[in-house]
Structure 1
Amino acid sequence: MDIPPETLNRDELQDYLNHHLLGSKSGVRLFQAAASTWNGTAYEQEFLELSEQVSEEQDELSQLIDQLDLRQSVVENAIGMAAEAAGRLNPVNITRSKSEGMTQVEMDVLQSALQGKAGMYAVLARLAERFPDAGLDGQRMSDLYEQAQDQQARVRRISDETMDSRFVAPDHHHGSGVST
């Protein structure tokens, strides 16, 4: 008796990619809000660059959904638009302070979002290996995984470099390089 070949569950893949596309919409706004938090510092430009990269990846993910002949969820697109609007308000760091605990929460949320994105690309790279005819470019997915890891390391570095401005008493700052 022949065992039928494994097939990719395209409905679940569609749902999975749509959820990540939804998350990327608020992610772009979170990076723009972080740039606003760090307005006037060297970190502002770095967060703007990260925002641009995440936006380009969002476009690529949207194109991938189309290339795979999957549907983009109308409901999730509407939710995504609402998330984009909410992201403009920067609900994580409302005061845009560089020196409060909420600034660290903002950094942590950005790293978490990037970790989620890296996880998606790792899954897609593995699926590309298992299902070579599925239309997934395994090398591109691996490259995007590495890019997400690099982005996460950049946010972690900024967090580390600015940590003293949040957690060390003002008269004891050593080398944080950030004025609040």
Structure 2
Amino acid sequence: MQQSQTEHESLAAYLDDHLVGAETGVRLFTAAQRTWEGSPYEETFARLAEEISDERDELESLIHALGYSRSKVKAAAAMVGAAAGKLGPLNPLSTGGGATGQLELESLQSLVRMKESLWRTLLVLSAKDHRFNTARLQELTETARRQQEDVAAVMEQTAAQRFLGSAESI
């Protein structure tokens, strides 16, 4: 099936949007690693930040392999977001406690869910567009599911401390 220029532009824009999201995800998971530094969850967030960084790089390589280029506007927005991300917008005090800690965890889980949706969408496209590696997209989809579970586990294991208090701090 021959794809029109509009279809290519739409797919390129979609992938570029997800690349901006991936760059945001790397920053936010790195910030979460700092938030949970010294806790039993620090290693979880360090691993997730590394995995998401690797997946961002893989997405960027895919965009280039498909012959697409980054939108200059979106690349500039990503740079602005990087500067703002240093301020820790989800959890400015870098604490795992209270509502801000909960919202940070929920936001991280949502970001990974969006990434899973990307991989699932590309998996559907791979049935008709053989430029995509179906097996790799299946792996990435499963990884995203596991990453969501990892964040959910931290959220569930720390919720009582966060909202009901305990002798042990987060």
TM-score range for the pair, normalised by the shorter chain length: over 0.9
Question: Distance in 2 between the 1:44 and 1:157 partners?
Answer: 13
Larger Rg: 1
> 1:7 is aligned with what amino acid?
Q
- Residues 1:162 and 2:149 aligned together: no
Query: Which residues of 2 match residues 34-53 of structure 1 at below 5 A?
Result: 34-53=32-51
Other-structure match for 2:125? 127
Q: Name the SS of the counterpart of 2:127 in structure 1.
A: helix
Structure 1 segment 5-44 matched on structure 2, within 5 A: 5=1, 7=3, 9-44=7-42
- Taking the aligned partners of 2:165 and 2:64, their CA distance within structure 1 comes to 52
TM-score (norm 1): 0.88
Give distance in 1, aligned partners of 2:82 and 2:137: 25
Counterparts of 1:1-180 in structure 2 under 5 Å? 5=1, 7=3, 9-132=7-130, 135-170=131-166, 179-180=169-170
CA distance in 2 between counterparts of 1:80 and 1:169 reads 37
Contact kept? 1:98, 1:165, Cα under 8 Å: no
Structure 1 segments (4+ residues) deviating >2 Å: 5-8
- Number of equivalences: 168
Tell me, which stretches of 5 or more residues in structure 2 are unaligned? Answer: none
Aligned with 2:41: secondary structure?
A: helix
- Percent identity of equivalent pairs: 35
Equivalent position amino acid for 2:154 in 1: I
What is the SS of the residue equivalent to 1:110? helix
2-side partners of 1:138 and 1:82: how far apart?
34
Alpha carbon RMSD of aligned pairs, Å?
1.4
TM-score, normalised by the number of residues in structure 2: 0.93
